[in-house]
Chains A and B, each alone.
Chain A
């Protein structure tokens, strides 16, 4: 059940590399990552859109006891970030002293390394937020 199985990592490329989301044809709600059924109206037809990478911190924590995949990064700030279009994502806040993170802080998503499977294995990329 490795989260870094190559196929599992590769199928997330559209969302993690390009921030691709799905806008529902029926109600306009944006789902990220794209889904088969719109959670707002149960519509099944979508258009692919890209998320705007700017947003703000809604709530946050600083993780001192981390999972083995992120143990080398503690303490790190983790947040729920609301992007300009209203989509919310969970990610780390990087390039800032974790003690200075606060609710309402403007941030921008950047493409960063998230996990790696040892020296020879898969490197999985995704997004971290940095102060805007």
Chain B
């Protein structure tokens, strides 16, 4: 298997971008990444997108977007794994380069979410749950995560304030990120007193609805060295992916994310590393409880101790293991199919040492964790500065 490096990164505008379509956002991100890499050709394109069919009535994104970039003829593949679509698109691009099918791959993710009403958006996102067993009976994503939160609180004594502290921390980080959708700092009181969505989760426990796209250019390591422009080369050292039973009700334990644990174990093994080797992580905080469950599943703390990681400052910037220095899904925004790729953009920015006010000092090894549904799919990547 060949070594693979990230040689270019790019983001489109993120937020409620009324004046840009899916294809415009995607093209912004793709061009930014290609320009960053200093390349104008690629051997292959992957596109992570959860459900453009429900959001904008458009499928067949591979050729659509290759065409948009003036690259008709290049193989282009849409990859879907709900909110983990972007991460799985990254894994797919990695595999193409590692296997020698391509030397340079443009990996992208995109979601255009604000062309539909709030109701239609809820319904589109709910398509990642079990339609017959959960959604039919009135389940929503906040509702399913709320039930996991209640179970974690009952089992481990996790508190309402600890949930809120995840949002407070990530907004504090996002306030330092010029690219974040919501850059204002918030307090525990703000979170708890904001509009109730699914008890105990309020609107400020939830990631927002976002339009946006993200892109990275992957190259075989030898090729990467020839175009590095003196910057640190960021290598993908480990990749892991796993699945779980899709309906929450089918899982033996409602307080853990076994697919995240499995994916992480696979990525750590491939990279020859342990959780102690990780300097920072971008994880899937679609809801505050999700970050708590994820830091436990990744092995950053013991089971049951996820609740105190944000409140103690351990996962804040300046802490032992900063989690979501970008602001995470919560503050930076969550255009679902773009998120997994945007996580790699942030880690690469950090490993290049150019993250500005949110820079994690001395960062040389970072991790991304991107998941779909209530954790039924997860993909983990470990990135490091190549020696």
| Residues of A participating in the B interface, judged by any CB pair closer than 8 Å | 3, 12, 33, 39, 58-71, 73, 76, 78-80, 88-92, 103, 114-115, 124, 126
Contacts and interface: CB of A to CB of B under 8 A. Distances in A.
A88 B147 CA distance: 14
A64 B199 contact: yes
B147 A61 contact: yes
Given A63-B198, A78-B137, A88 B249 contact: yes
Interface string B347-374: 0000000000000000000000000000
Given A61-B146, A67-B140, A90 B134 contact: yes
A33 B249 CA distance: 12
Contacts of B250: 39, 88
Contact of A65 (B140, B247, B248): B140
B196 interface: yes
A90 B150 contact: no
A59 B154 contact: yes
B139 interface: yes
B102 interface: no
Interface of B: 119, 122-123, 126, 131-140, 142-143, 146-148, 150-151, 154, 195-201, 245, 247-250, 254
Contacts of B254: 58-59, 80
Nearest to A80: B249
Contact of A66 (B140, B195, B245, B248): B140
A90 B248 contact: yes
A12 B137 CA distance: 13
Going nearest first, the 6 A-B pairs with the smallest beta carbon separation are: A61-B146, A70-B138, A88-B249, A62-B199, A59-B151, A59-B147
A66 B142 CA distance: 10
Contacts of A114: 136-138
9 contacts: A64-B199, A65-B195, A69-B138, A78-B198, A89-B133, A90-B137, A90-B139, A114-B138, A115-B136
A89 B249 contact: yes
A59 B136 CA distance: 18
A69 B247 CA distance: 20
A46 B123 CA distance: 34
Most buried by A among B123, B131, B133, B143: B143
A62 B198 contact: yes
A12 B138 contact: no
A60 B134 contact: no
A114 B136 CA distance: 8
Given A59-B148, A79-B147, A65 B133 contact: no
A61 B140 CA distance: 11
Contact of A58 (B140, B142, B151, B247): B151
Given A64-B196, A80-B248, A90-B248, A12 B132 contact: yes
Contacts of A66: 138, 140
A3 B132 CA distance: 8
B83 to A, nearest CB: 18
A53 B138 CA distance: 20
A72 B387 CA distance: 60
Nearest to A79: B147
B148 A65 contact: no
B198 A64 contact: yes
Given A33-B132, A67-B135, A80 B197 contact: no
A69 to B, nearest CB: 7
Contacts of B136: 3, 114-115, 124, 126
A61 B374 CA distance: 15
A76 B146 CA distance: 13
Given A3-B131, A66-B138, A70-B138, A39 B249 contact: no
Contacts of A70: 138
A28 B217 CA distance: 50
A80 B196 CA distance: 20
A92 B137 contact: yes
Nearest to A74: B138
Contacts of B126: 67
B213 to A, nearest CB: 25
A3 B135 contact: yes
Contacts of B199: 61-62, 64
Contact of A78 (B138, B245, B247): B138
Contacts of A62: 196, 198-199
A71 B132 CA distance: 18
